[in-house]
Amino acid sequence: MRVRGNFAYISATADDEELPLCRLRYGGSASHWGFAIYVASRDGYEDSVLPSGMTAGTPEEALDCACGLYLNDTTAWTEALGDSRENF
């Protein structure tokens, strides 16, 4: 992770290669961060929605979402949807 201004850039390392995952934007609280996913085709970040349907959330939610996308693990979405359905 590297921090620049209000942004935290999250990357993974595989075979000594840094792989960008997502960018978090500080929203004034340790549990409220804006989320942008890294888009390799654009070599940049695009504001995104978390599996919960929110544009901001905890760093854990953002990391679960980014890793789910890049590692093809859909549990980040199915678990988030299951949790939100229980609240209705």
d(CA 44, CA 9): 11
Q: What angle do CA 75, 76, 82 make, to 5 degrees?
A: 80
pLDDT of residue 51: 87
Count of structural domains within the chain: 1
Q: Which range marks the domain in which residue 76 is found?
A: 2-86
Global model pTM greater than 0.85: no
pLDDT of residue 79: 66
Could you give the C-alpha distances from 87 to 54, 82, 83, in angstroms and in order? 15, 9, 7
The per-residue pLDDT for range 29-38, each reduced to its tens digit, is 988 999 999 9
The per-residue pLDDT for range 47-81, each reduced to its tens digit, is 999 988 999 999 999 998 998 888 777 776 666 55
The per-residue pLDDT for range 11-33, each reduced to its tens digit, is 988 889 899 999 999 988 988 99
